[in-house]
Amino acid sequence: VAEKPAIKDITVKGAKGLSKNSVKDEMNLKEKDFFDELKVREDLVKITDKYHEKGYIDATADYQVRYDTAASLAYLTINVAEGNRAQVAAVEIAGAAGFKKSKLLGEMKNTPKNTYAPQDLDADYKALETYYRNNGYADYKMTSSSVSFNDNRSSVTLHIVISEGNRQRFGATFFAGNTVYMPSEFEPDIAYRRGTIYTQETFDDTLHAIQDRYANKGYLKAAIVPEKTLNAKTGETDITFNITENSPI
């Protein structure tokens, strides 16, 4: 059995976009710790992830270690290849007609002149969906998305294609399959008013309130499937809550 060598010194090379201390701060291994190759490789992943968050999407990190066997010491060197820092050059949103582009960009983090943050893309797409659905567009969908870079990968353009659908207002509310409760008993659960602009949040609040009402009587397995139908006469969206109560627990 041989004792692992202790880390005498950690040197960082190639770091410019991040300070050497910032790179070290991402590491679990510190000076005076025992050298562990598995932990070093885990630290390399953390370092590159930090660089990617800062827009250095091509950044890589590797390490070298020199041993002083007589003193049972290790000298660790972290080598960083940063690459170029990418900035968002443009965001193209095809299919957007209901709102100004500036308003939509206000919901996103990846916007022109900001550092490209690929880890925030999914949140940006979700933010657009939430904004549309909370402002009447219940059928909003993002049909495609992609990113393109310039030759040296220092700037990126986001391409988003959306389908807005029609702007909707809440219509009449119906219930089907309910035997435990009368339709009138659900009235306190309905968070929206007929004729108001459709918002996903108030619709979700209504659905959860109905589920909670059933749960309060032990119907934890009650299944509620909403069905939205455009009323050609009123121009509103009627909603039917199809309920399968199942047995109480």
Q: Hey, what are 59's tokens?
A: 């950044």
Q: Of all residues in the chain, what percent are helix, strand and coil, respectively (each to 5)?
A: 25, 30, 40
Q: pLDDT tens digit string along 12-40? A: 999 999 999 999 999 999 999 999 999 99
Split at pLDDT 50, 70, 90, the class of 1 is confident
Confidence of residue 199 (pLDDT cuts 50, 70, 90): very high
Please say whether the dihedral angle defined by the alpha carbons of residues 92, 98, 100 and 105, taken in this order, is positive or negative. negative
Angle, vertex CA 24, rays to CA 22 and CA 2, nearest 5: 175
CB 211 within 8 A of CB 181: no
What b-and-e string marks burial along 137-169, b requiring 16 or more CB atoms within 10 Å of the CB? bbbbebeebebebeeeebbbbbebebebeeebb
Q: What is the pLDDT of residue 2?
A: 78
Give 8's contacts (C-beta < 8 A, 6+ positions apart).
31, 68, 71, 73, 74, 75
Distance CA 133, CA 30 (A): 48
- The string of pLDDT tens digits covering residues 123-142 is 999 999 999 999 999 999 99
**Does residue 3 have a pLDDT over 90?**
no
**Interatomic CA distance for residues 29 and 90, integer angstroms:** 40
- Res. 101: pLDDT tops 90: yes
* Residue 4, token pair as written in the block: 């692992």
Q: Which pLDDT belongs to residue 97?
A: 95
Q: Is the pTM of the predicted complex or chain greater than 0.95?
A: no
